[in-house]
Amino acid sequence: MHALRARFVGTDGFAESFSDAVSHEVTDPTGVDTEVTLFASKTTASIGETVMLTVAVTAATGTPDGKVTLTQQGISVIGDFPLVNGVAEIPFSSSNLGSYIITAEYAAMPGFKAATGQVVMTFGKAPSELLMTSSKNPANLNEPVTFIVTPVNAVTRAKLGFGRVHFYDGNVLLTGGRGVPTSTSATNPAILGTVRFTIPNTLVQALSVGTHQIRAVYAETDFILGSEATFTQTIVAPEKPTTTTLSTSKSPATVGESVTFSASVVTSDTGAKATGNVEFYNGPTLLGSAVLADGVASISTSFTDVDELEITARYLGEANAFAASTSATLTQRIDKFGTSVSLTSTPNPSQQGQEVSLTATVTSAAATPAGTVEFFDGAVSLGTSTLSGGSAVLTTSALEAGSHDLTAVYSGSANEAASASAVLSHGVGTESAEIDMVQQQASQAAAGASTDVITDITSEVISDALSGQVQVLSASDGKVGLTWAPGLKRGGTMIVPTADALPTTESSWRFWVKGRYTDWDAGSLDGQLWNGMAGASLLFGDGMVAGLVAGYESYDYEDTVGATLKGDGLSLGGYVGGKLTDSLTFDTQLHSAFIDYDVASGGISGDFDATRLIAAGGFSYALHDGALSFTPSLRANAMWEWQDGYIDTAAVAHGARGFGNARVSGGARVAYTIPLSEGGRFIPYISGYGDWRVSDGDQTIDSVLDGVSGRIESGFDLQTRGGINF
């Protein structure tokens, strides 16, 4: 491809000049034909918009290389562009309106012939867009507001530095409301194409209070389409400054208690009262809002936790009237509920050892308190109990005799404050304890002594029967007795021991009655015991005796503090004895007794029943040498008594008890018989015995009977011919 031009060299009076270039293609007659395809990314575009042109040169064989030349119809050569693998891509834009043929010419290259391709493109005016804002929105009445408008090419987003902008308030043209976009500034390129319009100005008055739709209209030019933008501008009246003051109805308040917060809003204009809403906050948390009434807004609320709160009130203001304001922070303290404790004791007074119920009732202004209560006797803790329904109960029997200052201390909870009761004076008497003590000591003493009496009398009866002696009337050692043997023959007087004379009787029966009085004065006890017994003995076999016995006993004991035990009862029993040899005898016996006891101390009393079981046995050996007799013996008795429980008149419960005593006795009796005139006898004697006693059972104090003891007895028996024995 060749560009040919003609040159006029010029002559006198005529200047040199050149003709237009004429393309002349010289083809390679041996080259292959080529085809040029020209494609545009879009065939309709606006001026200044970039369109991508793609040129593809193809041949039957091979890939053409070289370049393509683009020209715009009637305008100019666009340029030469190299082929890459037969393809050239060219970005293209035009500043000329209208439709044009774009031609792509491929110049012949060795082995390839020249070819051309075309595409028709249309370029129209570029669309515009207005970017609009204001210097302040909302703005106060009469406050200058500048509207800032930047026209841009809607396609390329480039600022437009030409044309005019007109301003409207709605559909009303604002006088003077037009401007020419600023030209390029070398010192501040950022202001290129920006229009600024300020209201009010010398031609346009200020916008009124309210909302205004400000329109900016960009007028169409030779190359740019027109456009418009709308901006909503709010004009408000100047708001009067306000001051908000916050107060509380109560601080500190308690958990759950209603608290009223009041916000007072005042303005700089003493003749105006603020209106609108106030919001109340605890830190960032909204508590509630209220409407101002006569310049004051209030809310009431309560709090569930103990704390120090930071409360503020925010007046939201009133548009075009009053400015918003916030109060200073108010510290609201929330304390625990106050509590009070009342203490009662039941019974009061009580008895030592008696269970006492201590009841603490905790009250508060809130719901029923929860937690624990500790009870004190002076400074000594009696124990802790958990509140249930506002009350805590502790039962104790540990209060000693005397006066006690009792208090109850509530430990408090998350929402209730701790508190203590007033001192409660509680008296503890000793009467019930004294009753308990006299019951143990005196009943054990009475049971032991009565057992000794019953078993000793029964042993004597057995011994008398086996020795053949029938005492018509006897009195000795605190005892009196009467024995009757049916069929007695010897003058109706008395039967003397077998060693002296054998009685003659036609009956084997012996009926007897004996009584004994025992005086007790040992330790802290002083008392009397009466025993009466009656029975029947039957002699049978070769030196054997058996019998039945019934008895009555009565007690009257008093200890050193004035506590008493009294009682009486009946006993039933049986016995068997016999001779193992002429000198050696044995006896066994078994008794049961049923006792009714009464105890008292001061004004307190009680009564209970008891059952007693007695067993005894022994051996004796009688030696005689003329008037002298020596009788060693070994005996044992045991008893067990069951006592019922009872409640005394002070409502103190005394538990059931059981206890037992046992005695083992060994010793001898030495006697000398001196005959008297008229058939009487005088028998002085001396005896000595050792006793070993033990006890066991539910008694809580030591037995007064336990241990080893010795007895020495001396005296005389005086037997008269009339059958009286002293």
Q: Is the peptide bond before 64 cis (omega within 30 degrees of 0)?
A: no
Q: Which amino acid, residue 191?
A: I
> Among 287, 282, 425, which residue's Cα sits nearest to residue 349?
425
Q: Which of 67-71, 192-196, 432-436 has the lowest mean pLDDT?
A: 192-196
Phi/psi of residue 447, each to 5°? -65, -40
pLDDT given for residue 560 in this prediction:
84
pLDDT given for residue 188 in this prediction:
37
> Averaged over 456-462, what is the pLDDT?
91
pLDDT given for residue 25 in this prediction:
64
pLDDT tens-place string over residues 16-53: 776 766 666 666 667 899 999 999 999 999 998 999 99
Q: Which amino acid, residue 422?
A: A
> Among 38, 37, 3, which residue's Cα sits nearest to residue 21?
3
pLDDT given for residue 498 in this prediction:
33
Q: What is the mean pLDDT of the chain?
A: 86
Q: Are 325 and 243 in contact (CB under 8 A)?
A: yes
> Averaged over 507-533, what is the pLDDT?
87
More reliable by pLDDT, 571 or 709: 571
pLDDT given for residue 416 in this prediction:
85
pLDDT tens-place string over residues 313-342: 999 998 878 899 999 999 999 988 888 999
Cα distances from 378 to residues 351, 405, 673, in angstroms, run 19, 5, 74
The answer to whether residue 185 scores a pLDDT higher than 50 is no
Q: Which residues pair with 331 in a beta bridge?
A: 310
Distance CA 87, CA 631 (A): 159
Domains and CATH numbers, the chain: 2-124 (2.60.40.10), 128-236 (2.60.40.10), 242-335 (2.60.40.10), 339-429 (2.60.40.10), 433-725 (2.40.128.130)
More reliable by pLDDT, 83 or 508: 83
> Averaged over 13-17, what is the pLDDT?
77
The answer to whether residue 7 scores a pLDDT higher than 80 is no
pLDDT given for residue 183 in this prediction:
44
> Among 640, 447, 641, which residue's Cα sits nearest to residue 525?
447
The answer to whether residue 184 scores a pLDDT higher than 50 is no
The answer to whether residue 156 scores a pLDDT higher than 60 is yes
Place of tokens 């841009």: 152
The sign one gets for the Cα dihedral 134, 135, 138, 139 is negative
Q: How far is CA 80 from the centre of its chain?
A: 92
The answer to whether residue 461 scores a pLDDT higher than 60 is yes
Token pair belonging to 243: 């001051």
Q: Which residues pair with 653 in a beta bridge?
A: 647
Distance CA 19, CA 171 (A): 59
487 phi-psi bin (left φ>0, alpha ψ -120 to 50, beta other): left
**∠ CA 376-378-383 to the nearest 5 degrees?**
20
Q: Are 639 and 451 in contact (CB under 8 A)?
A: yes
> Averaged over 116-128, what is the pLDDT?
94
pLDDT given for residue 484 in this prediction:
67
> Averaged over 656-671, what is the pLDDT?
93
Q: What is the pTM of this model?
A: 0.52
Q: Are 356 and 426 in contact (CB under 8 A)?
A: yes
More reliable by pLDDT, 4 or 653: 653
Place of tokens 């003329």: 626
The sign one gets for the Cα dihedral 399, 405, 408, 409 is negative
Neighbouring residues of 320: CB distance < 8 A, sequence distance ≥ 6? 209, 236, 237, 239
> Averaged over 702-724, what is the pLDDT?
74
Residues of the chain with pLDDT > 70: what percent?
88
pLDDT given for residue 190 in this prediction:
38
The answer to whether residue 480 scores a pLDDT higher than 70 is no
Q: Which amino acid, residue 705?
A: L
The answer to whether residue 699 scores a pLDDT higher than 60 is yes
More reliable by pLDDT, 225 or 706: 225
Q: Are 166 and 209 in contact (CB under 8 A)?
A: no
The counts of H helices and E strands in the chain are 1, 55
Token pair belonging to 534: 């009656």
pLDDT given for residue 468 in this prediction:
65
pLDDT given for residue 481 in this prediction:
60
The CA-based dihedral angle spanning residues 133, 136, 139, 142, taken in that order and rounded to the nearest 10 degrees? -90
Give the range with max mean pLDDT: 1-5, 7-11, 102-106: 102-106
> Among 596, 639, 632, 599, which residue's Cα sits nearest to residue 616?
639
**∠ CA 599-602-603 to the nearest 5 degrees?**
85
The answer to whether residue 542 scores a pLDDT higher than 80 is no
pLDDT given for residue 26 in this prediction:
63
pLDDT tens-place string over residues 382-397: 999 999 999 999 999 8
> Among 359, 309, 368, which residue's Cα sits nearest to residue 337?
368
The answer to whether residue 298 scores a pLDDT higher than 50 is yes
pLDDT given for residue 248 in this prediction:
96
pLDDT given for residue 501 in this prediction:
35
pLDDT tens-place string over residues 193-242: 788 888 888 778 888 889 999 999 998 988 899 999 999 999 988 888 99
What's the residue count for the chain?
Answer: 726
b/e sequence 52-85, b meaning 16+ C-beta within 10 Å: ebebbbebeeeebebbbbbbbeeeeebeebebee
378 phi-psi bin (left φ>0, alpha ψ -120 to 50, beta other): left
> Among 59, 63, 100, which residue's Cα sits nearest to residue 83?
63
pLDDT given for residue 503 in this prediction:
42
Q: Which amino acid, residue 564?
A: T
Judged by DSSP in three states, 432 sits in: helix
